[in-house]
């Protein structure tokens, strides 16, 4: 005789908690992976490496040694490893444009002036401001830059060849040295606590050159077309 017995029941009360735990772990892992992927897409792009504005080519620069009788003797800037600097005689003619960086006070920067902010890159992704140049009234800006009538931006005669114009903009306001400039992307605040020098560039003559002055010269001997004079301070 055949005896039929009911199938044995699977009785493992510990299994359900294990399965539940594994399910929860998988769900949490999926949430973390998904949030990481979404968060990565929301992150802003990494900032590019800091690059200082490129310095434009500079005309020959000198220091005035002697100026008398229409003849001007200038000394070349020394170059390491090239011995004593040489001298050059300048005889600007009637057609030579001479411009002077006239020292002015901070309060002389007025709304409506177009200024060039001159500085050098420093180690904190910024610039150390050394000079502010005020351009003549009516100077037009082109491609974010301005030049004088003789073609100078104002930094060409500086002792340090690393000096460059880092911003050119019209002045909106001058409140005790706190300038507001109309920059290309909107208002720019500039606090001039102790700038190296402030100049208003304007026309001059050969009589404005004195020993110790800095000059930038455009043109060869006998055909000097322009001179920028930075007076000795």
Averaged over successive runs of 10 residues, the pLDDT of the chain (233 residues) comes to 52 57 61 56 48 63 88 87 84 90 92 92 75 89 88 93 91 91 88 78 94 93 87 86
* pLDDT of amino acid 48: 45
The answer to whether 162 and 120 are in contact (CB under 8 A) is: yes
Tell me how far CA of residue 9 lies from CA of 6, 12, 13, 14, 17, in angstroms: 9, 9, 12, 15, 19
Residue indicated by tokens 């002036």: 113
pLDDT recorded at residue 12: 55
In the block, tokens 């992307």 appear at: 185
Say if residues 123 and 223 touch (Cβ distance below 8 Å): no
Which pLDDT belongs to residue 27?
A: 61
- Decide: 86 and 76 in contact? Cβ < 8 Å: yes
Measured between alpha carbons, how far is residue 106 from residues 131, 136, 194 in Å? 11, 16, 10
> Are 119 and 133 in contact, with CB atoms under 8 Å apart?
no
What is the Cα–Cα distance from 85 to 24, expressed in whole angstroms? 80
**Are 203 and 224 within 8 A, CB to CB?**
no
């Amino acid at each position: 005789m055949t005896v039929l017995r009911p199938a044995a029941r699977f009785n493992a009360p510990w299994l359900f908690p294990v399965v539940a735990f594994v399910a929860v772990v998988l769900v949490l892992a999926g949430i973390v992976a998904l949030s990481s992927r979404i968060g990565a897409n929301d992150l802003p792009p990494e900032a590019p490496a800091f690059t200082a504005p490129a310095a434009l080519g500079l005309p020959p620069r000198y220091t005035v040694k002697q100026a008398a009788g229409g003849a001007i003797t200038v000394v070349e800037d020394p170059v390491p490893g090239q011995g004593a600097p040489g001298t050059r005689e300048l005889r600007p003619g009637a057609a030579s444009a001479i411009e002077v960086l006239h020292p002015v006070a901070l309060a002389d920067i007025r709304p409506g002036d177009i200024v060039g902010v001159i500085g050098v890159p420093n180690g904190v992704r910024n610039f150390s401001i050394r000079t502010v140049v005020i351009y003549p009234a009516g100077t037009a800006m082109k491609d974010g830059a301005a030049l004088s009538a003789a073609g100078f931006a104002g930094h060409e005669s500086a002792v340090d060849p690393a000096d460059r114009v880092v911003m050119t903009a019209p002045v909106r306001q001058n409140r005790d040295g706190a300038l507001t400039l109309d920059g290309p992307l909107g208002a720019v605040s500039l606090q001039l606590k102790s700038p190296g020098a402030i100049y208003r560039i304007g026309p001059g003559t050969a009589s404005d050159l004195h020993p110790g002055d800095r000059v930038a010269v455009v043109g060869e001997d006998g055909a000097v077309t322009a001179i920028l004079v930075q007076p000795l301070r």
